[in-house]
Amino acid sequence: MTAKDKPHIVRSFDEELESMTSLLVSMGEKALVQLEKAVQVLRTRDADLAHAILRADDLVDSMHAQVNTLTVGLLATRQPVATDLRHVVAALKMATDLERVADYAASVAGSSLAMPAAPSDVVMEKVEALADVAKQLLADVVKALEEESEEAAVAVWQGDDAVDAAYLALMQTLHEEIAAHPEHLAVNSQLIFVARSLERLADHVTNVASHLIYSVTGKIYKG
């Protein structure tokens, strides 16, 4: 996370910071794959894939632990100040949010296992619309992390409005479906959990963007 900064006299410090960024990018990439698969499971009802998604969540948890260990080591041994301290603190927060992103992707997969039947096409269309917005934001924040781009991070942070609109559209459709087809209540009730998981997942993505902005510029963005 120091590509745009003056290199440190101690090269190993730069290497540790770069390793931290690499871990964050990998966490984001793995969470994105998990999200894509989780949405696929909702339509295909592939229980094996759903269980694979749940198992894979442990890998992201492990990477989160690696970031924690690395940041604690940096704080203890390097005693960073000013910009360097900002990078380390922001990385710790981003890792926590990315771990939560993966958790919510796993929650979507878990909800699919609890559904006795597949969602209706009209509901699934709205689910996929919300998921597409969330997936794009996640892909964009991973790219912003790789490039240490304030501009790209700000664009992600501002994408919360699109998430809210897609979430409200999905919830409205679900309420209409529940009223019109009470016999499908078990399926649609699980889809309410899916909607909330996707909306909260996107909130954590925008949190990552705000932490990245802080890391790169020192500016604080709050929702």
Give the CATH number for residue 41: 1.20.58.220
Residue 16 has what pLDDT?
85
Answer whether residue 141 is part of any domain.
yes
For residue range 169-182, list pLDDT tens digits in order.
999 999 999 999 99
Per-residue HEC secondary structure of the chain comes to CCCCCCCCCCHHHHHHHHHHHHHHHHHHHHHHHHHHHHHHHHHHCCHHHHHHHHHHHHHHHHHHHHHHHHHHHHHHHCCCCHHHHHHHHHHHHHHHHHHHHHHHHHHHHHHHHHCCCCCCHHHHHHHHHHHHHHHHHHHHHHHHHHHCCHHHHHHHHCCHHHHHHHHHHHHHHHHHHHHHCHHHHHHHHHHHHHHHHHHHHHHHHHHHHHHHHHHHHCCCCCC
Answer whether residue 3 is part of any domain.
no
Answer whether residue 124 is part of any domain.
yes
Domain tally, the chain: 1
Answer whether residue 93 is part of any domain.
yes
Supply the range of the domain harboring residue 116: 11-217
Residue 42 has what pLDDT?
92
Residue spans of the chain under pLDDT 50 = 2-3, 9
How far is Cα 52 from Cα 34, in angstroms, rounded to an integer?
Answer: 9
How far is Cα 170 from Cα 173, in angstroms, rounded to an integer?
Answer: 5
Answer whether residue 1 is part of any domain.
no
Cα separations (Å) of 188 from 58, 97, 142, 171, 219?
28, 28, 32, 10, 41
Residue 220 has what pLDDT?
87
Answer whether residue 144 is part of any domain.
yes
